[in-house]
Amino acid sequence: MKSFDEDGKLIIPDKELQKLQEHGLYKKENKIHINHAFCPKGHELIVPDNELIDGFPSIKLWLKGEIGNELVFISPVLNNLNRIGGEIFSKGNKLKVCCPECGSRMPVLGPCECQWNGEYMMLSLDKNPENQNAVCFCDVWGCPKGDVRLAGEVISEYMRGYQM
CB 134 within 8 A of CB 122: yes
CB 71 within 8 A of CB 60: yes
**DSSP three-state, residue 104:** coil
Lowest-confidence region among 15-24, 58-67, 101-110: 15-24
**Quick one: how many helices (H) and strands (E) in the chain?**
2, 12
DSSP category for residue 117: -
Tens-place pLDDT, residues 136-158: 999 999 999 998 888 777 776 66
Q: pTM (2 decimals)?
A: 0.82
**DSSP three-state, residue 59:** strand
Please determine, for residue 1, whether its predicted confidence score (pLDDT) is greater than 70. no
Rounded mean pLDDT, 42-55: 94
Pick the more confident residue, 19 or 29. 29
What are the boundaries of each domain within the chain?
19-163
Tens-place pLDDT, residues 65-107: 999 999 999 999 999 999 999 999 999 999 999 999 999 999 9
Using CA atoms, how far apart are residues 104 and 98, in angstroms rounded to an integer?
5
Please determine, for residue 13, whether its predicted confidence score (pLDDT) is greater than 50. yes
Please determine, for residue 20, whether its predicted confidence score (pLDDT) is greater than 90. no
Rounded mean pLDDT, 11-24: 60
